[in-house]
């Protein structure tokens, strides 16, 4: 039995967290013994993690607290993992240091975005000094692989591309678009645009608001749902008011009824400045929603302009508004793009493939033979939470 310790900054709503939940739920428990540790006190997804039957520890620390190293080291001493698999920057840093000090046999880090836009010199310094003791990187998109090979100087032999595909089966719901709309917004037949994202500068939701303002000035009676939370929430709500979008843009906060929200939409939007392989974009395409996305990084790997969606330049509200107007005006085009988007996701991306490839990476790092991957059944397991002091 191979013991894996997953380390992640928090269990908030986010792409890395969503994939981690899907991964631990699907890994073969006859081969792997799993434990998840979250550094933060911000863990709204802990109940969903508990439902997977995986043991977990919540450290309850503030962001950036270096005591995480010693807490993880203590957990390693107790759980004796063969391999540490870390997501997001703080966890990749503290998790690797703790694993190196504890002489864990294998260390894997998971890269889910092109981080060059925000990293300072000290972030890069930490990455460089920890790199020689890192056994394997996983990049979730071709663009992320290229960034880490060309900018972070990771050896191409030590980084593999594995798409972060979540469990998409929960998005197959038996509700019509009208039924879903009725649950979200009352007394409105206006077209409905939406996005699901952290309210963070990377996501450039200010561009979406400016595009909505342009559509409003042009006479398009459109409504917009913004799902998510984050440090930009107050600024974005204030901007929405300044642009006269009260009653037209709705901030729904973090939600887990995403299948209902996505089915209700006429157009799904991603307007990020940079991305890895965006999970919510994949989920929208799986639900046959026509999408508009910025032509950056992983977006371009799943959205083929004019075939599975429309691509627009980043930070350009006029182009974004034009693309959204086009899809709202041409229902046949929107339907064709949505249907082809669903087919592409179904053909090229699957959780089973991602789990099989990650299982193979674990075996390669630990120099174990590969075994045939079999998806987990629905056996009932009880998880054991550990609240770390």
The 3-state DSSP class for residue 15 equals helix
Entry pTM: 0.90
Q: Report how far residue 244's alpha carbon sits from residue 238's, in angstroms, rounded to the nearest whole number.
A: 10
Helix or strand run (H / E) with residue 385 = strand 385-387
Residue 389: what pLDDT?
Answer: 36
- Residue 139 pLDDT: 97
Q: What is the mean pLDDT of the chain?
A: 92
Neighbours of 106 (CB within 10 A): 23
Please name every residue paired with 312 in a beta bridge, in sequence order, or none if there are none. Answer: 294
Per residue in 121-176, pLDDT tens?
A: 899 899 999 999 999 999 999 999 999 999 899 999 999 999 999 999 999 999 99
Stretch among 103-107, 213-217, 369-373 having the lowest mean pLDDT: 369-373
Domain spans in the chain, listed from the N-terminal domain onward: 2-165+350-387, 169-347
Which tokens is 99 given? 């694993």
**Cβ atoms of 301 and 311 closer than 8 Å:** no
Q: Matching CATH topology for 2-165+350-387 and 169-347?
A: yes
Residue 213: pLDDT above 60? yes
Percent above pLDDT 90 for the chain: 86
| Whole-angstrom Cα Rg for the chain | 21
Bridge pairing between strands 385-387 and 310-312: unpaired
Identify the CA nearest to 355 among candidates 145, 87, 163.
163
Rounded CA separation 342/354 (Å): 18
Q: Please give the average per-residue pLDDT across 182-193, as a whole number.
A: 86
Mind listing the pLDDT tens digit for each residue in 277-291? 999 999 999 999 999
Tell me what pLDDT residue 119 has.
Answer: 83
Query: Which tens digit of pLDDT belongs to each residue from 91-104?
Result: 999 999 999 999 99
C-alpha 332/C-alpha 348 separation (Å) is 24
* Amino acid 388: pLDDT: 44
Categorize the per-residue pLDDT at 220 as very low, low, confident or very high, splitting at 50, 70 and 90: confident
What's the whole-number mean pLDDT along residues 231-253?
96
CA 164, CA 154: separation in Å to the nearest integer?
Answer: 20
**Least trusted range by pLDDT, from 122-126, 154-158, 265-269, 384-388:** 384-388
Confidence of residue 207 (pLDDT cuts 50, 70, 90): very high
Say whether pLDDT at 253 is over 90.
Answer: yes
pLDDT digits 0-9 by tens, 308-361: 999 999 999 999 999 999 999 999 999 999 999 999 999 999 999 999 999 999
Would you say residue 386 has pLDDT above 70? no
Q: What pairs with residue 262 in β-bridges? A: none
CATH entry 3.40.50.300 includes domain 2-165+350-387: no
- Residue range 69-75: mean pLDDT, rounded: 97
Query: Which pLDDT value is given to residue 376?
Result: 54
Q: Which of 186-190, 343-347, 370-374 has the highest mean pLDDT?
A: 343-347
User: Is the separation of the CB atoms in 119 and 91 below 8 Å?
Assistant: no
What is the pLDDT confidence band of residue 42, given thresholds at 50, 70 and 90?
Answer: confident
Q: How confident is the model at residue 382 (pLDDT cuts 50, 70, 90)?
A: very low
Distance CA 112, CA 345 (A): 18
Contacts of 197 (CB under 8 A, 6+ apart): 203, 205, 226, 227, 228, 270, 272, 280
Q: In what order do the strands lie in the sheet with 249-253?
A: 249-253, 223-227, 192-196, 267-270, 291-294, 310-312
Compute the average pLDDT of residues 106-111.
Answer: 97
The tokens of 254 are what? 């973090």
Q: How far is residue 126's CA from residue 148's CA, in Å, rounded to a whole number?
A: 14
- Secondary structure letter of residue 158 according to DSSP: G
211 Rama sector, left if φ>0, alpha if ψ -120 to 50, beta otherwise: alpha
Under 8 Å between Cβ of 294 and 314:
yes
Is the domain 169-347 a CATH 1.10.1660.10 member? no
Alpha-carbon distance of 31 to 205, in angstroms, equals 43
Cβ 13 vs Cβ 45: under 8 Å = yes
């Amino acid at each position: 039995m191979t013991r894996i310790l997953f380390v992640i900054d928090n269990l908030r709503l986010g792409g890395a967290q969503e994939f981690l939940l899907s991964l631990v739920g699907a890994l073969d428990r006859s081969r792997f013994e799993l434990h998840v540790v979250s550094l933060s006190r911000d863990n709204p997804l802990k109940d969903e993690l508990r439902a997977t039957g995986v043991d977990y520890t919540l450290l309850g620390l503030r962001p950036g607290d270096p005591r995480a190293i010693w807490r993880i080291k203590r957990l390693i001493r107790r759980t004796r993992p063969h391999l540490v698999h870390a997501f997001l920057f703080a966890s990749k840093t503290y998790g690797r240091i703790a694993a190196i000090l504890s002489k864990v046999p294998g260390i894997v880090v998971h890269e889910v975005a092109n981080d060059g836009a925000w990293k300072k010199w000290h972030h890069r310094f930490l990455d460089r000094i920890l790199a020689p003791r890192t056994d394997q990187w996983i990049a979730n998109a071709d663009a992320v692989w290229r960034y880490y090979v060309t900018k972070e100087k990771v050896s191409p032999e030590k980084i593999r591309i594995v798409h972060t595909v979540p469990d998409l089966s929960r998005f197959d719901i038996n509700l019509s678009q009208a039924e879903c709309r009725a649950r979200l917004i009352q007394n409105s037949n206006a077209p409905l645009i939406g996005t699901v994202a952290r309210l963070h500068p990377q996501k450039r939701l200010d561009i979406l608001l400016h595009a909505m303002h342009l559509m409003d000035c042009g006479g398009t009676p459109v409504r917009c749902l913004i799902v998510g939370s984050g440090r930009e929430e107050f600024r974005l709500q204030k901007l929405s008011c300044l642009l006269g979008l009260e009653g037209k843009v709705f901030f729904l906060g973090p939600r887990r009824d995403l299948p209902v929200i996505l089915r209700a939409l006429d157009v799904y939007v991603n307007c990020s400045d940079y991305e890895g392989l965006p999970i919510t974009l994949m989920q929208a395409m799986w639900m046959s929603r026509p999408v508009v996305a910025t032509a950056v990084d992983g977006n371009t790997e799943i959205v083929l302009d004019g075939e599975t969606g429309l691509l627009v330049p980043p930070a350009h509200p006029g182009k974004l508004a034009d693309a959204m107007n086009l899809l709202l005006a041409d229902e046949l085009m929107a339907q064709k793009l949505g249907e082809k988007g669903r087919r592409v996701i179904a053909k090229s991306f699957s959780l089973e493939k991602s789990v099989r490839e990650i299982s193979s990476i674990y075996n390669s790092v630990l120099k174990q033979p590969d075994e045939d991957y079999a998806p987990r059944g629905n056996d009932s397991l009880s998880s054991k939470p550990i609240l770390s002091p």
